[in-house]
Structures are given as C-alpha cells and as structure tokens.
Amino acid sequence: MQSRILKTVLLALIVISLVTAGCSKKVENTVAEVKKIPVSVETIQKGNIEKYIFLGGLLSPQEEIALASKNPSLKVIAVPVKVGDRVTAQTPLVYFDSRELDIQLDQAQLNYERNKQLFEAGAVSKYQLEQLEAALENLMLQKEYMSVLSPINGVVASVAATEGQLAGAAPLVTVVNIDTLKLEVQVGEANISKLQSGAEMLVSVPAASGDLYTGTITSVAPQIDARTKAYPVTLEIINESMAIRGGMYGEVQLAVDKREDIIAIPQYAVLDYEQKKVVYIVENEKAVMREVALGLTIGNEAEITSGLSVGESLIVEGQYGVKDGSPVSVTARGEK
C-alpha cells in the first residue's frame, strides 16, 4: 500500500516538473519574440544654415556693335565673314565696289601733283592748290568707307549683308564681345543693402551644363526702378571657357538670412504629434520622444532652438514606425 502511494507521489512530481519546464520554455519563447524596430540615427552636432533667394536674368555681351555703311548707295561685293567667326579689331567684315572711286582718286592725285608743281613755279595760287588738296583728302576719306571694319575683338553675331545688294541704312554685320558677359538682376529693397560693388557671387547657367561661374558686382543702382519696383544690380562674368553666350539665362543665389553655431537637423526627422513638433532620439536601445521648438527652416534643414542637445542620437530613418519607449535596433545612417 505504501509502495503504491509512493509511486503515485513520484508520478505527480514528474508531471509537475514537465509542466513547469514547458511554461518556462514558453516564457523564454515569448521574450525572444519581442522584436526591435530597425532605425537609422545621426549624432546631433552644431553647424550653420543659410537662407537664399534666387535672382535671375538674361546674360548680355559686354560689347555689342551693329555696323552699317556710311554710304547707303554703295554696292556690296564681298562678305568675308560668317556668323560665329572670331575677329579682331580692324578685321574687314564687308567690302564695297570702289572701282569708280579709285578712278576719281587717281585723277585727283595726279591733278594735285601737277598743280603743286605749278604752284611752286608761281603759276597757281595757294588757294587753288588748297582746294585741290581738300578734294583729294575727301576722296581718300571716301576710300576708307569702301569696307566695314570691326572696331573690337569679338565674335560675329549676325550677318545681313549679301553680295550684290546696296548697303542701305540698316546694320550689315553685328559683332559682340563675349569674353565678358553682363547679368542684370532685380533686388528688392529688403535685400539691396546686402550687396555692394566689387562683391563676388556664384552664377549658375543651366544652358551651359549648370556650371557655376564667378560674377563680380559692377554696379548697384542708387534708385529703385519704377517699372520693376526693385533695384537693378549688374554683374560681370569672365567667360574663360567660352561656353556661355548672350541671351542665356543666368541665376545667382543671395543669402538673406544666416544662423551660425546652432543645432540643425533634417526637417523630415521632425513629426507632428498632438499639435506639437516632436522628434525621436535613442536612449538605452529605446526610442524616446522629445518635443522641440523650431527656428529657421530652409529646404531639408531645420534649426532647433530647444529640446535637443549636442551628442544625442537622432532617429532620421524609421521614425514613423516607433513610439515613445519602443525597443529599437540602431544603425548609423547609410549603413545596412
């Protein structure tokens, strides 16, 4: 009888042990099933942010000269240049028919020489010789009009002249100097005091692959433009690469506000929560909600005036999937 009772007690103890072991394993499995939310963080540091406005306009050549004939009745016999040709000062651009003038000039030259000899012999008065000399000089001046010469170094921008036409009064050739270009922008009264002659600004030209060029302010208008309600400001850009042309659009960035030595974080790290601005940082492998106050916000950057400290780990990826106290698995931003 006692032996049977003992067996029963032993059996009961074994059953209890098995049940207890099963429960412990279940608890362990439950703990193991608690998942940490993956997030990426940035270490909060101090820095600077600037606010810019964009000002644009069309680039224009430093010099642009439209050339016409001084005598509209002349006939064009040759145009030795074409659009895009580089020319130097005194390069011929258009030739006119001078055959009739050349005959007159030869006759006038011969007549002057003969009368000069007669004057020396006392057969012709000084007045008569001076009249012949004046006529000769007038024909020589007309000879200079038998071609159109470039007054500057530059590039031929347009050619309207064709062989056989009369010169007329309209421009025949236009030459531009694009070694240096001008850009005029309009600046509002709130920002005009930030600019002064001689200052440099970066100029972006989208048509020239978006390359940046250095522009130097050459003039700041002392009076507002009644039409635009802004102050015209002119910059000069040295076109060393010759990649930019007159008529292209140029744009400058003007810094209108700046914050230095501040905490600035990505604006997308800031969330709206119950009419508050909050972020999440990581403490002891948990997400901790922080209410923050914002200052200047520019693009993807936001100034934090309160709520965060330098050195804390700010959640910048995964912040939408956590709550205050959520366990997290941390990786530095950019890591996998």
- Please check the confidence at residue 9 and state whether its pLDDT lies above 70: no
* Whole-number pLDDT of residue 188: 93
Cβ–Cβ under 8 Å, residues 198 and 217? yes
pLDDT band at 141 (very low <50, low <70, confident <90, very high): confident
99 part of a folded domain? yes
**Could you give the CA distance from residue 143 to residue 232 in angstroms, rounded to a whole number?**
44
pLDDT band at 32 (very low <50, low <70, confident <90, very high): very low
pLDDT > 90 in the chain, percent: 65
Last residue of a domain, one of 221, 256, 291: 256
- Please check the confidence at residue 310 and state whether its pLDDT lies above 60: yes
Looking at the structure, do residues 86 and 167 belong to the same domain, yes or no?
A: yes
Q: Average pLDDT of 266-289?
A: 95
**Could you give the CA distance from residue 182 to residue 54 in angstroms, rounded to a whole number?**
17
pTM greater than the 0.75 cutoff: no
Looking at the structure, do residues 69 and 167 belong to the same domain, yes or no?
A: yes
Report which residue type is found at 92: P
Last residue of a domain, one of 198, 227, 256: 256
143 part of a folded domain? yes
* Whole-number pLDDT of residue 4: 58
* 176-206 residue pLDDT tens: 999 999 999 999 999 999 999 999 999 999 9
129 part of a folded domain? yes
Looking at the structure, do residues 303 and 223 belong to the same domain, yes or no?
A: no
Q: Average pLDDT of 28-48?
A: 78
Looking at the structure, do residues 159 and 190 belong to the same domain, yes or no?
A: no
Cβ–Cβ under 8 Å, residues 244 and 252? no
Closest by CA to 246, choosing from 181, 150, 165, is 181
**Could you give the CA distance from residue 300 to residue 317 in angstroms, rounded to a whole number?**
14
Looking at the structure, do residues 307 and 244 belong to the same domain, yes or no?
A: no
15 part of a folded domain? no
CATH number for the domain spanning 218: value is 2.40.30.170
* 248-269 residue pLDDT tens: 999 998 988 888 999 999 999 9
Looking at the structure, do residues 221 and 289 belong to the same domain, yes or no?
A: no
* 315-336 residue pLDDT tens: 999 999 999 999 999 987 655 5
Mind giving me the DSSP string for 100-155? Answer: HHHHHHHHHHHHHHHHHHHHHTTSS-HHHHHHHHHHHHHHHHHHHTTEEE-SSSEE
C-alpha triplet 127, 133, 137: angle, nearest 5°: 145
**Could you give the CA distance from residue 116 to residue 5 in angstroms, rounded to a whole number?**
164
Range of 134's domain? 64-174
Last residue of a domain, one of 256, 288, 311: 256
**Could you give the CA distance from residue 167 to residue 67 in angstroms, rounded to a whole number?**
11
If phi > 0 it is left, if psi is from -120 to 50 it is alpha, else beta; for residue 90 that is left
* Whole-number pLDDT of residue 314: 96
User: What is the domain count for the chain?
Assistant: 3
12 part of a folded domain? no
